[in-house]
Amino acid sequence: MAWFRKKQEELTVDQLPKELIPKHIGFIMDGNGRWAKKRGMPRRMGHVTGAQTFRKIVKACEARGIRSATFYAFSTENWKRPQDEVDAIMNLLREYLKESLSDFKSENIRTKFIGDRTPLAPDILALIEEAEAETAHKTGLTLNIALNYGGRHELVGAMRVLAERVKAGEMAAEDIDEQCISDTLDTAGQPDPDLIIRPSGEYRTSNFLLWQSAYAEYVFMDVLWPDFSEEHLDKAILQYAKRNRRFGGV
Ligand code: FPP
């Protein structure tokens, strides 16, 4: 392994040994608004191009053998944005889901949504349920789309579920451990993210996968999401492969 670490500088992602490829990557798709503003366009155009980038990066993750990828599409705080911007993002999702439903047969992607579905429009909810049901048996990339997602909100939900179980006598308070909390989150059954990529030059987690990211490696990149490319993805994976992950040990 030592020779390998030395040589990593010169390696490309397809030459990395499997154990250095992250199993789960999180993407904070940031910078769409700034990208549009720089071009004198309305903010929603940034999201339109951002959605194209999303499709391209999903395919790139699959091609690189990544097991799970989670994309932060809409946070529990994003409802505060102007209504036309919220509508534009929801319409992009509608469009994506409608198109994907016809592509699902040829792809090996399992699509899942994380986040609170309660306030979503009924037609979006139906499309989400259809997408999840149609792809539940797929064995390739697990694609999580975080929609109306917030890490704190997710944890509050999990705490309530566990409290109800204790109240109903199904478990004791002492039985609550890290595993049962993980199992009660929207990402239950999936590996925690190894790598979280945030483009756009901001250095924040923004309530993304708070519990799951305890030992994630972060790569912050100075590129706006609509300009994010396969090359940026590879650069982030290579940076990750060079990190010395100790998980609190030495
Ligand atoms: C953050 O950039 C981006 C969002 C809140 C929305 C991201 C949504 C998409 C890329 C489209 C989703 C569609 C599919 C199909 C998943 P920002 O607007 O906060 O950028 P700024 O910081 O430059 O203003």
User: Using one digit for the tens of pLDDT, what is the confidence trace for 135-180?
Assistant: 999 999 999 999 999 999 999 999 999 999 999 999 999 999 999 9
pLDDT top residue among 244 and 48: 48
CB 91 less than 6 A from any atom of ligand 1: no
And the tokens for 159? 């705490």
Q: At a CB cut-off of 8 Å and minimum separation 6, what does 133 contact?
A: none
Taking a C-beta distance cutoff of 8 angstroms, is the pair 28, 196 a contact? yes
- Is 29 a residue whose pLDDT tops 80? yes
CA pair distance 58, 98, nearest whole angstrom: 17
Nearest CA to ligand 1 atom 1: 30
Apex 116 CA angle, 111 and 118, nearest 5: 110
Among the atoms of ligand 1, which is closest to the Cα of residue 72? 7
- Closest residue by Cα to residue 128 from 108, 150, 140, 145: 145
Which residues are the active-site residues?
A: 30, 78
CA pair distance 74, 101, nearest whole angstrom: 21
Distance 46 CA to ligand 1 centre (A): 7
CA pair distance 62, 82, nearest whole angstrom: 34
**Domains of the chain as residue ranges with CATH:** 22-150+193-241 (3.40.1180.10)
Instruction: Please count the residues of the chain.
Output: 250
Residue 3 has a pLDDT of 47
Taking a C-beta distance cutoff of 8 angstroms, is the pair 223, 199 a contact? yes
In whole numbers, what is the pLDDT of the chain averaged over residues? 94
Pocket test of ligand 1: the residue of 27, 28, 30, 103 to mutate, having most ligand atoms within 8 Å of its CB, is 30
CB 131 less than 6 A from any atom of ligand 1: no
User: Using one digit for the tens of pLDDT, what is the confidence trace for 33-46?
Assistant: 999 999 999 999 99
Handedness of CA 54, 9, 223, 216 (dihedral sign): positive
